[in-house]
Structure 1
Amino acid sequence: MKLSVPTLLALAGALAAPVAQAHIAASGPAYVNTTADIQFTVGHGCSGSDTYRLKVSIPETLTGVRPLDSVFGKATVEKDANGTVTAIIWTRASTADVLPSDTHAHRVGLRARLPDAPFTTLYFPTTQTCIDATGKELTVDWVGTSSGHDHGTDSGTPDAPEPAPALFLLPARKPGWNKYTVNEHVHDLSVFDDALIVWSGNKAYSANPVTQGLIAEEKDAAALTEIHPGTEIWVKY
């Protein structure tokens, strides 16, 4: 861990870069072995039509799952033969509640116990159902688990699945320096955008563009762009 650049550390965390999100995004404090309130934000409807129903599939590693009713609508629970929650469905009280056009974002949520799997991603495949002006139902399946958002603009390739809502699990932490061994490949370092700085050997990352510029200017440091399994890192919060 390199600690010889006090100016860099003083400036770290002053500004945070924005995080890109899917059109249905999962959010919440995602620390392993904790009970968390997970929210799903629906950024838009389907082809100009408002959303009527959301079905969110629940990862097997989530336990103690309990839905939260919302202004969008009440929740129903699907379970398997063992009584494990496999999906939650939020539906408007009636089709009369569906707006004439796609003008609003919506939010629903659940409470669950997160697994002990730091630096991994939980995916929540989701089916979004909308109703158009003629009463016809339209559906979009948000099931992709790869990075990026491809609407199939290249006519020579098939459309990629729309991205599923995802939640990246972080280890427990304390103010100051935290030492972790990362056993997963972390491609997107924006998961550390609320940290002051991340060090791995002579490489460093910060969401603050000023701090990142100082890292680039430091002759004994290099930019940290990804983390490989088995890597030891130091993170300052």
Structure 2
Amino acid sequence: MADDISSHSNDKLSRRGLLFVLSSPSGAGKSTLARMLLGADDEIAMSVSVTTRAQRPGEEHGKDYYFVTGDEFEEMVADHAFLEYATVFGHRYATPAAPVQKSLEHGQDVLFDIDWQGTQQLYQRAGQDVVRVFILPPTLAELRDRLESRATDSNEIIDSRMQRATSEISHWDGYDYVLINDDLDACFAKVKQILSTERLRRARQTGLIGFVRDLVAE
């Protein structure tokens, strides 16, 4: 009888997907952690954002971003097509609602690399499905060192990013989990642990009621 239950458990214990948010100041490691998570876990996929910024060499429409004009973006806002949207460094970014909802219903987790404003909007629209993780740098001095080591931005841009970082860090208490990225591998291990734990929450086990009903009816 136990073998029969086990053989059907995968179907009965299907789960609803979750929206897994990684936020941090620029340079604190959220994008690196996101890439590591995508490479290590095939049950999670990156949310593809809509943006008004210009398409860069090597980027693909529909894979890296959905590239739209400012007018098209405003039309989508008016049509309530976004779960969240924000302006970052002069460009507009947003999360389209339809593909995210489809992923959730099929048990696919969706990964978000967004700031605190986007996270707040996402939580207001889909709070029960959202898991929020904020990544802190060990010190602001090290954060600046990381930005400078990229050798991609001028001192003025780095100064601007540091000012923005202070503002972003002030919103750390709006997250479910807060991690200090002083060791990348250790921080990544904690991110994976959080994701694994959240997947096991009873509310996300959509097949659990039926499984228990059949179990006690044996």
- When normalised by structure 1's length, the TM-score is 0.26
Higher RCO (C-alpha 8 Å, min separation 6):
2
Q: Judging by fraction of residues, say which structure has more strand.
A: 1
Q: Which has the larger radius of gyration?
A: 1
Q: Judging by fraction of residues, say which structure has more helix.
A: 2
